[in-house]
Amino acid sequence: MKKIIIVLFIISTIYLISNKSSIVIPNDAVRFRIIANSNSLNDQNIKNKIKDDLINNIFPNIKNKDDIEKNLSKVTDTIDTYNIDYSINYGMNYFPEKEYKGIKYPRGNYESLVITLKDGLGENYWCVMYPPLCLIEENETNNIEYKVLAKELLDNYKK
C-alpha cells in the first residue's frame, strides 16, 4: 500500500512539474503599457529601448504602489532623453483583451501606467509593473532549476 501511495505521489508530482503554472495577474496589480508611434522598425526599436530602460532602471525601485507615483518624474526624465513626443497617463486606462502565459485577461479599465509615443499607432508592449511581473518576465530563462518539496522528501526518505 505504501508503494502505491508513493508511486501515485511521484506521478502527481511529475504531472505538476510538466504543466508549468501560469502567472495570474492579481486584481490590485498595476499594469504598464508602452505604445509605439508606428510599426516601423525605427519606432519599434525606440519603444523597446525606452521599455528596457524603464524596466531595468526605474521599475526595480518600485516596491509598492506608492512608489509608482514617487518615480513618475524619473519615468518622464528617462523618456525625455529620447527626444520624442509622448504622453503619459497613470490611472485607470483601457486595455483590450490580452493573453499572457496561456491565460486570457478580459478587456477593461485597469490601474496602469500608459506611455504613448507620438501618434501611438504601433504595436505595444505590456506587463504588470506591480507586483513586479515585468522584472520576472525580463529575467526569465530556460535554465531554471525547479525544486519540489515532494521530490526532496522522497530523496530524504530513501536515505
The more confidently predicted of residues 106 and 135 is: 106
The rounded percent of the chain whose pLDDT value lies above 90 is 45
**Is the pLDDT at 37 greater than 50, yes or no?**
yes
Choice among 14-23, 80-89, 131-140 with the minimum mean pLDDT:
14-23
pTM: 0.69
Cβ burial 2-31 (10 Å sphere, 16+ → b, else e): eeeeeeeeeeebeeeeeeeeeeebeeebbb
pLDDT digits (tens, 9 = 90+) for 51-73: 999 999 999 988 888 899 999 99
Residue 51 near residue 35 (C-beta atoms within 8 A)? no
Backbone angles phi, psi at 96, to 5 degrees: -70, 170
Name the pairing type of β-strands 124-130 and 98-100: unpaired
The predicted structure's pLDDT at residue 147: 41
